[in-house]
A and B are shown apart, each in its own frame.
Chain A
């Protein structure tokens, strides 16, 4: 079965410190992986994706993610967190299950403290 796991409900980090939001996946075939961010009472915004190529993917707002095939992980990172990064982050995989669907992880709430 195709699935995505985000093991942390919440991540707390101080402003200026590096942040990591974890994601692991289980898919058959090549994984197509995404990160989305959701601010309160808003829709999701696309941050970045991995399709193929370099394992380090750079995205919007200074975020990047590292694809690790052996560990089946796609962790989201940022070298220096901002208070404005506080939001709900979803890892997702796009897979074929009776049609191409985006399967979202449960989400990780990021709190960045000033």
Chain B
């Protein structure tokens, strides 16, 4: 199984709401990632988890809060977002995070709209 799943597919939320994005993989990968992608732009790295520990935070605002409950699951908790946070949020995984030659497997993404 080389699939990364993400729920929900679409999310519309107000600026005062709290919501969560979920990501799951069953490939035994030990690194998981959150990316933000604006239309027709490349993905921008937000967070990297390696062996369930946060290893990289790309200076992401605190209104985005990642969580890795176990090696298969990755969540992104959202609170008090701004309209400019509207984007496609992609989850990815790879066998590890500490080496260079490993490809990433991406989920289909969650299309987030902040109103």
Q: Are A102 and B104 in contact (CB under 8 A)?
A: yes
Query: Per DSSP, are chain B's interface residues mostly helix, strand or loop, or mixed?
Result: loop
Q: Are A104 and B43 in contact (CB under 8 A)?
A: yes
* B6 and chain A: residue at smallest CB distance: A43
Q: Are A94 and B90 in contact (CB under 8 A)?
A: no
Q: On chain A, which size bracket covers the interface?
A: 20 to 34
Question: What is the total number of residues of chain B having a CB less than 8 Å from a CB of chain A?
Answer: 27
CB-CB under 8 A for A43 and B108, given A104-B42, A107-B41: yes
List the interface of chain B (C-beta within 8 A of A): 4, 6, 40-43, 45, 48, 55-56, 88, 90, 92, 97-109, 111
List the interface of chain A (C-beta within 8 A of B): 30, 32, 34, 36, 41-46, 49, 51, 88, 90, 94-96, 98-102, 104-107, 109
